[in-house]
Structure 1
Amino acid sequence: MADIGLIGLAVMGQNLALNIADKGFKISVYNRSYEKTEHTVKRAEDEGKGSYQLAGFKTMQEFVNSLSKPRKVIMLVQAGNPVDSTIELLSPLLEKGDIIIDGGNEWFLNTEKRAKKAVELGLLYMGMGVSGGEEGARHGPSLMPGGPIEAYDQIKHILEKIAAPLVNEPPCVTYIGERGSGNYVKMVHNGIEYGDMQLIAEVYDMMKSVGKLTNEEIAETFTEWNNSELKSYLIEITSKIFKKKDDLGEGHLVDKIVDKSGSKGTGKWTVQEGAERGIAIPTMASALDSRYISSLRDERLSAESQLTGPTPNDLTETVDKKVFVQQLKNALYCSKICSYTQGMNLIAEASKQYGWNLKLGEIARIWKGGCIIRAVFLDRIKNAYDLNPNLPSLFLDPDFNKEIAERQAAWRKIIQMAISAGIPTPALSSSLAYYDSYRRGRLPANLIQAQRDFFGAHTYERTDMKGAFHAKWEE
């Protein structure tokens, strides 16, 4: 009998199934279209050279019958209705105490609804974030399981074997918390990923448009940065992207790619959640907005010849490439601190409102390997929350405070240059505005509250006495 089953054999499902088999577990797989099941079985034969214990089944009933009890089934199907349809077919074949684990990018409230229904059927239901793309799924992802602790305890030994390993630390998996917390943490992970990618893209734009760096110089810069405090998966792949020549023509491939970026929903969910929880996440919101603006390519091409404004050619100062690149590095590092601060603050607030009791330091730890936002930077974040689990902002950690103080002059200089050159840097700029807003003891919100009281009698508080007040503004 199989130790675990997996339903949904698209790229992520196939690779996770092979990862499980590779670690010595017996696994059964099922897919609605049997061709993908056959392909997975063939891959297991080829990649395992006969050692993998992976079996494919034509029917859901045969699949379920092949699993040892209590049955453990991972689903990796498209979020939304396909998940509900799969559960509808699967749950009547299961028994009390069996476990369903949704490993897709699902909206956390959907997971909570399904978990409640599962309880009525006597089943245990988990939502588990899986990060790392197809390579991570195959060789070791970061896993964010949430749901009943008794369900986690029964699959923990499998998850710890398949998760990305860390040196002198447990692997990149931990019990996140109850109900939809695993999906929530994965959602915020993806929101941070949006912010990271946009920040890197803006830095690239400045390198190319203002610094006049060649693709070779850009590749070399990112390679150097990947041996510094910016070392991360996204910096690493960026250096490789700028080295890739076009197989179908001349020059570099990156220059031939249409400047429209897509999205699948988790970034939007994160921004919506920021609004719902009352947490400012401007770096991530700017990243999402930038993707939307990029999709207006035809309009932008038309507007380019109609709207006026400064260009990089209008810059009067001479750009020293070496100094400029160092300034960009500092601006990127400071902005990354902002992005992660916003993400961690959102997780902390959701944890408080939903009673999840999430451990931010441990979440940072499991993001250190396997996942898309893995970075040495996360060691610093883990240490900050280990030192003070109730840290209200990473800005207030002594080390991060010191680093921003040392780097912020360069950060401000880069944004000044971008404005003077007409180069949009929404994520870099909003990150700085977020930092400046947080460090000011008094903001102009007093005027906004006065306006709200003027037209809507919303009342206001005073600095010199307690209570709620309303003024007759025109008397």
Structure 2
Amino acid sequence: MTTASMGLIGVGTMGSALALNIAENGHDIALYNLDARTIDALIDQAGDLAPRLTKTETVADLVVAMPSPRAIILLVPAGGPVETTIDALLPHLSPGDTIIDGGNSDFRDTMRRTERVEAAGFQYLGVGVSGGEEGARHGPSMMVGGSKDSWEPLRPVLEAIAAKYQGSPCVAHLGPDGAGHFVKTVHNGIEYADMQMIAEVYGLLRDGEGRAPGEIAPLFTRWNDGALQSYLIEITGQVLAAVDPETGNPMVDMIVDQAGQKGTGRWTVIEAIRMGQSASVIEAAVGARVLSSERPVRQAASEILGEAPKGTASFDEADLEAALLVGRILAYAQGFRILKAASEEFSWDLDYATIAEIWRAGCIIRSSLLDDISKAFRSELPHGRLVLSEEFAALLQQNIGALRRVVAQAVTIGLPVPALSSAVSWYDEIRQARGTADVIQGQRDFFGAHGFRRVDKEGDFHGPW
């Protein structure tokens, strides 16, 4: 049996792509999957890389096929399957072996698993992997959490298989235990927000102006050459330009309008609320996906409540572009604020500039803004807030009017823009020197005697009610 330098459990779409990436970078890899036929298919299609791939029949065989110390990547569904796989592995490992969870695991599970595996005498890494199948095959962005002792021996391999941005690998050790998976979770929350805002602009053009997908596609292609340059803008143009080979209709028109989700966006919102942080743009995007799943209800409501008239609006394309830019900046700002709260709570000491840099290639939310975000975090940020940096504050002030006009027009004619409207509300809320929480504190004191602070003297007080 060919000796493998690394192992992988879970040879699905992502696992197959990552195995080929590892093999292409000069490393043998042993493979195990519940359905062994997937390994056979992979080896049959691997060409010159096939000799580096070793099929194993059991978890025990996988371990035997590798020299110690071993590094075994898990690409199995989050939750129970990860636990089951760890249970199967532990009896066969040797001191110094490392288990790498490369799936979308809840970071709290990763923290618990790290403690358990390390107590058994082994190493554990929770690695957030972004980039989809293409990224896994040719270079993902990877966010590593775990001990530095377990990271350093694997660093050459992970840097070799990672995406490269101007020669720099888009992978970094971000902190202990669950840090990597938490950063990946927030990455996905930002991804939800960006995708939702893009979809909202598409909806304004489709329903508000009555444009066909093929007429909208060139607009996104053009935007991708400017300030909105990003992977998501690029592929949106391609999705809208695609034609269904069976019917000849625009492909997007043949897709049921129900968005799936695997939970990471929801986790971002839950953790933000737990940490006392506002994630309103991300929350709106998660809520929109939830409502999209209630298609029968929406269809009934369109009959009972009526829909907005189609093709009666006219949106300024420059305003739409600027609105998306503002929305994207604010989504990033919310995401990085959640990262800061988690870093403080769990003593992770996250490097936000490095996080922005490893997101510049390979990952789904890669965009031209990330260079500027990295630079902002390497300078002195007022109150640690991205929106208060000199460059981003100027960008927001220059373009916020466009977001207001787009949202106002959409609301006036009855077209939904939940994420874009949340963005403009959050912007206005954060810049309001005197907010409206004074009346909330008055209400809380009235019905619950919770007390409040005064603006003119120190201490806790009650009202005259």
TM-score range, shorter chain: over 0.9
Question: What is aligned with 2:295?
Answer: 297
Supply the distance in 2 between the matched residues of 1:375 and 1:113 (Cα, whole angstroms).
33
- Distance apart, 1:211 and its partner CA: 3.1
Distance 1:313 1:255, change over 3 A: closer
Question: What is aligned with 1:396?
Answer: 388
- TM norm structure 1: 0.95
- Distance apart, 1:390 and its partner CA: 7.5
**2:401 is aligned with 1:448:** no
* Contact 1:312-1:421 at 8 Å conserved across structures: no
Alignment of 1:203-242 (within 5 A): 203-242=201-240
Question: What is aligned with 2:161?
Answer: 162
Supply the distance in 2 between the matched residues of 1:454 and 1:267 (Cα, whole angstroms).
37
- Distance apart, 1:42 and its partner CA: 2.0
- Distance apart, 1:217 and its partner CA: 2.5
Question: What is aligned with 1:370?
Answer: 362
Supply the distance in 2 between the matched residues of 1:373 and 1:419 (Cα, whole angstroms).
28
* Contact 2:210-2:311 at 8 Å conserved across structures: no
Alignment of 1:232-381 (within 5 A): 232-308=230-306, 311=309, 319=314, 324-381=316-373
Alignment of 1:34-73 (within 5 A): 34-44=36-46, 46=47, 48=48, 52-73=51-72
Q: Paired residues, what number?
A: 463
Question: Amino acid of the residue matched to residue 112 of structure 1?
Answer: M
* Contact 1:129-1:185 at 8 Å conserved across structures: yes
Question: What is aligned with 2:412?
Answer: 420
- Distance apart, 1:458 and its partner CA: 1.2
Question: Amino acid of the residue matched to residue 363 of structure 1?
Answer: I
Supply the distance in 2 between the matched residues of 1:250 and 1:17 (Cα, whole angstroms).
37
**2:7 is aligned with 1:9:** no
**2:146 is aligned with 1:147:** yes
- Distance apart, 1:39 and its partner CA: 2.0
* Contact 2:72-2:99 at 8 Å conserved across structures: yes
RMSD (CA atoms): 1.5
Supply the distance in 1 between the matched residues of 2:59 and 2:92 (Cα, whole angstroms).
8
Distance 1:397 1:460, change over 3 A: same
Distance 1:276 1:118, change over 3 A: same
Distance 1:227 1:71, change over 3 A: same
3-state SS, counterpart of residue 348 of structure 2? coil
* Contact 2:210-2:310 at 8 Å conserved across structures: no
Question: What is aligned with 2:127?
Answer: 128
Q: Which shows bigger deviation, 391-400 or 129-138?
A: 391-400
3-state SS, counterpart of residue 72 of structure 2? strand
Q: Which shows bigger deviation, 377-386 or 194-203?
A: 377-386
3-state SS, counterpart of residue 387 of structure 1? coil
3-state SS, counterpart of residue 364 of structure 1? helix
- Distance apart, 1:97 and its partner CA: 1.5
- Distance apart, 1:416 and its partner CA: 0.8
Supply the distance in 2 between the matched residues of 1:305 and 1:81 (Cα, whole angstroms).
42
Query: For structure 2, which runs of at least 5 residues remain unmatched after alignment?
Result: none
Query: Deviations for 1:372-391, whole angstroms, at most 9, x for unmatched residues?
Result: 11111111111111123786
* Contact 2:275-2:342 at 8 Å conserved across structures: yes
Question: What is aligned with 1:81?
Answer: 80
Distance 1:309 1:443, change over 3 A: farther
- Distance apart, 1:212 and its partner CA: 3.3
* Contact 2:327-2:420 at 8 Å conserved across structures: yes
3-state SS, counterpart of residue 39 of structure 1? helix
Supply the distance in 1 between the matched residues of 2:305 and 2:69 (Cα, whole angstroms).
65
**2:400 is aligned with 1:408:** yes
3-state SS, counterpart of residue 127 of structure 1? strand
Supply the distance in 1 between the matched residues of 2:245 and 2:81 (Cα, whole angstroms).
37
Question: What is aligned with 1:108?
Answer: 107
Distance 1:146 1:442, change over 3 A: same
* Contact 2:159-2:169 at 8 Å conserved across structures: yes
* Contact 1:360-1:389 at 8 Å conserved across structures: no
* Contact 1:103-1:128 at 8 Å conserved across structures: yes
- Distance apart, 1:94 and its partner CA: 0.4
Identity within the alignment, %:
41
Supply the distance in 2 between the matched residues of 1:247 and 1:335 (Cα, whole angstroms).
35
Question: What is aligned with 2:97?
Answer: 98
Query: Deviations for 1:182-240, whole angstroms, at most 9, x for unmatched residues?
Result: 00000000000000000000010111222333322211100001111111111111000
Q: Which shows bigger deviation, 220-229 or 29-38?
A: 29-38
* Contact 1:314-1:420 at 8 Å conserved across structures: no
- TM norm structure 2: 0.97
Supply the distance in 1 between the matched residues of 2:372 and 2:243 (Cα, whole angstroms).
36
3-state SS, counterpart of residue 184 of structure 1? helix
* Contact 2:382-2:388 at 8 Å conserved across structures: no
Question: Amino acid of the residue matched to residue 241 of structure 1?
Answer: V
Distance 1:308 1:247, change over 3 A: closer
Query: For structure 1, which runs of at least 5 residues remain unmatched after alignment?
Result: none
3-state SS, counterpart of residue 290 of structure 1? helix
Distance 1:431 1:112, change over 3 A: same
Supply the distance in 2 between the matched residues of 1:124 and 1:91 (Cα, whole angstroms).
11
3-state SS, counterpart of residue 182 of structure 1? helix
Supply the distance in 2 between the matched residues of 1:217 and 1:41 (Cα, whole angstroms).
43
Supply the distance in 1 between the matched residues of 2:13 and 2:249 (Cα, whole angstroms).
30
* Contact 1:207-1:325 at 8 Å conserved across structures: no
